[in-house]
Copies of this chain bind each other. A is one copy, B any other.
Amino acid sequence: MSASGVRARVRAEMTEEIKAVAKRHLVTDGANLSLRAVARDMGMASSAVYRYFASRDELLTALIVDAYNAVGEGAERAAATGTGDLDRFLRATHAVRDWALANPHEWALIYGSPVPGYQAPQDTIGPATRVILLIAGIVRDAYLAGRVAEREPITGGYADELGRVAEQYTPGAPARLVAAAMSAFIHLGGAISAELFGQLKNSVDEDRRGFFEYQMRGEADRIGLT
């Protein structure tokens, strides 16, 4: 066990190192990650990398899972330092943006257009939900404590569906709360992608942080957070 533990540990270290090198390549080359280049950087044959990752897609998947967890954990930590509901919400969303600004290519990997021919495996859906679950959690806590302001209820087919989703997380809570939380999450992603992908150029160049917060405050207001 301890002997085989050596090999297992070396294997784990190699896997981590490959991911680290790949992440470095990601920041310069973007999503067209070259497995051969990674292997070259590590001084090993490209075929040897296939001992650790069955394909380039599998390596990408590992990077995607790491990225989801990194942004999720960052947001969770930031939210934990907040005091009020609105403060926790703003801290969480700012943390997501900060992480995205620091790791633009990883953001593109998880929230940009899907890599062509790449099919997200089951492993990714768990980590992928961390941020939206965090936002939903903040809203739920506020609602259960009776601190969510009144808003008009929603109607339409999506209301029923989101009502069923609400039963899982906030039993008894109105569907419009889930709808507003999801709207905030979607707006969050859109705002960050717009900033990173260059759509704010020539219109918002000085105070992008402020403009981002303006939008997030708007979503918080729609939710009813104070």
Contacts and interface: CB of A to CB of B under 8 A. Distances in A.
Interface string A175-207: 000010011001111110110011100011111
Interface stretch (A39-47, A51-59, A91-99, A109-117): A109-117
A206 B157 contact: yes
A222 interface: yes
A215 B222 CA distance: 10
B114 A207 contact: no
Contact of A198 (B114, B182, B194): B114
By size class, the interface of chain A is 35 or more
8 contacts: A113-B193, A113-B197, A120-B198, A161-B204, A162-B203, A187-B191, A190-B190, A218-B222
User: 7 closest Cβ contacts across the A-B interface?
Assistant: A190-B190, A112-B113, A30-B116, A157-B207, A108-B113, A158-B207, A156-B210
Interface of A: 29-32, 108-109, 111-114, 116-117, 120, 128, 154, 156-162, 165, 179, 182-183, 186-191, 193-194, 197-199, 203-208, 210-211, 213-215, 218, 222
